[in-house]
Structure 1
C-alpha cells in the first residue's frame, strides 16, 4: 500500500500536476495510486522527489511505508 494520493491531497496537488512533474500520463500515476500497478524503486524515488518539488515534505518511507517492521541487528 502506498500513500501517494493521501500526501498529494494533503498538499493540494492535483493528480495531473504530479503526473506532469514526472513526465507521465495521469492514468499511469492513477494506476500506481490505486495499486493496479506496482512502481519499482526508480519510480518510487521519482514520485517522492516530485512530491517534494511540488511542496510536500516527505521521505520514501512516508510515501511507501514498509509493510513489516525490519528486525534490529543483533
Structure 2
C-alpha cells in the first residue's frame, strides 16, 4: 500500500475522492507504479521467486479452489 491521501483520512469517503487530483495522490500513484515495475523486474531476473510465490499461494489456499463470481461466457 502507498499513501495517496493525508494520514487519518477514512477510506471510501468524499475526502479520499477530493484528494484524488492532488500532488499527494499523484506522487503516491507514481511511487506505487515504480514499486510494481521494480517487483516485476526482480521476478524476471529471479524466476525462483515466482515458484516460491506459487507454492506459498497453494499452501495458503489449503486445498480450497478459487471460483470466479463472474459467469463464463457462453
Higher RCO structure, 1 or 2 (CA under 8 Å, sep 6+): 1
Which one has the largest radius of gyration? 2
Common fold by TM > 0.5: no
Could you state the TM-score of these two structures normalised by the residue count of structure 1?
0.28
